[in-house]
Amino acid sequence: MPTAQDLMKNYDKVETIPAMSARLIRMISSDKTTVQELEKVIKMDPSMVVRLLRMVNSAYYGLRNKVDSITTAVVFVGLKSLRNMIVVTSLKGVVKSDGQDDIFSKTDLWMHCASVAVCSKIIAERIFGKAGDDAFLCGILHDIGMIIEHQLTQDLFLQACKAYVPGDRSFCKVEQEIIGTDHCEVGYLLAQKIELSPEVQEAIRDHHLDGEEISPSSLVGIIQLAEYFVSQLGYTPIPGMKAELAPVLSSYLRKNIEEYKVLANGLPEELEKATEIYKVDGE
């Protein structure tokens, strides 16, 4: 059975984060990159320019004035938001032509990830009073390992999907038994490859951990909480999949349930407002 490292050796064969997007993400991660250098690279892909400007001018960002250049977009939304937009536009292209399967759909996975991203950003900002850009990025990418597994070991991955029984073993354990690795480890290696921050890398790797050391305000804690809430609305990567909270997070949620009731009540409206961002082109 392949290891996560074995799968990533064939990364260039799969359709996830295109080389141009990965280059831009690395540039944004560098303190030495200027806005002008970014715009020069982005302009090499006119379709990306169109998608990014359409996104920054969407109702989700609520800007008063129309933005008509990448430089202006960076001024208004910031580099991390621009990075997240690049990731979103890249992954939307992957799920655009989805071959629907009874047990797995890339479109459903995308809707799950996008919903977790939006919810994670809300939790980070409204509950913990911290910047939500990295939480959003983790939400978008936390299950990207499933896409890589589906593209490189499709038969084994679909076998794992069919073998998964909600409430029995975790999906990660089923993946490990059938594929030889799991989507958390594969996603972690991808995050390393495109040079995301160590905190984001670790959150993608650890988002299904159940250890007592998980802090609710950490990226791991935020992603688990977000997955729990969006699963209640039916946004799951595989039909019937249950979102499990680590015991420490379950305890935390019970103690702070009133805050989260307000969040949960407003979440459907927030997801609806964000539809323009994560809607797959052609829908």
Interval 60-98: pLDDT, tens: 777 788 888 888 888 888 888 888 888 888 887 777 655
Alpha helices in the chain (DSSP H): 4-9, 19-29, 35-42, 46-56, 70-77, 79-95, 106-122, 133-141, 144-152, 154-163, 171-178, 183-193, 198-206, 219-232, 247-255, 257-273, 275-278
Give me 205's structure tokens: 């790797």
pLDDT digits 0-9 by tens, 187-234: 999 899 888 999 999 999 999 998 888 999 999 999 999 999 999 999
Question: Do residues 179 and 1 lie in contact, with contact meaning Cβ atoms separated by under 8 Å?
Answer: yes
What does the alpha-carbon distance between residue 99 and residue 94 come to, in Å, rounded to a whole number? 11
What does the alpha-carbon distance between residue 264 and residue 280 come to, in Å, rounded to a whole number? 25
Q: At residue 72, what are phi and psi to the nearest 5 degrees?
A: -65, -40
Instruction: Return the number of other C-beta atoms located less than 10 Å from residue 61's C-beta.
Output: 17
What does the alpha-carbon distance between residue 177 and residue 247 come to, in Å, rounded to a whole number? 25
Amino acid identity at 151: Q
What residue has token string 């896409």? 147
Q: At residue 34, what are phi and psi to the nearest 5 degrees?
A: -95, 160
Nearest to 84 by CA among 52, 116, 62: 52
Alpha carbons within 13 angstroms on the beta-carbon side of residue 137 total 25
Q: What is the pLDDT of residue 207?
A: 94
Q: Which fold has domain 4-15+100-278?
A: Hypothetical protein af1432 (1.10.3210)
What does the alpha-carbon distance between residue 25 and residue 27 come to, in Å, rounded to a whole number? 5
pTM across the whole model: 0.87
Handedness of CA 172, 177, 183, 187 (dihedral sign): positive
CA angle 220, 274, 106 (to 5 degrees): 65
Instruction: Return the number of other C-beta atoms located less than 10 Å from residue 211's C-beta.
Output: 10
pLDDT digits 0-9 by tens, 1-55: 667 777 777 666 666 777 788 888 888 888 788 888 888 888 888 888 888 888 8
Question: Do residues 51 and 86 lie in contact, with contact meaning Cβ atoms separated by under 8 Å?
Answer: no
pLDDT band at 136 (very low <50, low <70, confident <90, very high): very high
Cα dihedral: 226, 230, 235, 238 (round 10): 50
Q: At residue 88, what are phi and psi to the nearest 5 degrees?
A: -60, -50
pLDDT digits 0-9 by tens, 145-192: 998 898 888 899 999 999 999 878 899 999 999 999 999 999 999 899
**Alpha-carbon separation of residue 194 from 27, 150, 164, 191 (angstroms):** 10, 20, 30, 5
Look at residue 110 and tell me whether its pLDDT is greater than 80: yes
Q: Which residues contact 257 (CB under 8 A, 6 or more apart)?
A: none
**Domain range list for the chain:** 4-15+100-278
Look at residue 261 and tell me whether its pLDDT is greater than 80: yes
Across residues 246-264, what is the average pLDDT? 94
Look at residue 275 and tell me whether its pLDDT is greater than 80: no
Look at residue 282 and tell me whether its pLDDT is greater than 60: no
Look at residue 106 and tell me whether its pLDDT is greater than 60: yes
Give me 27's structure tokens: 């540039």
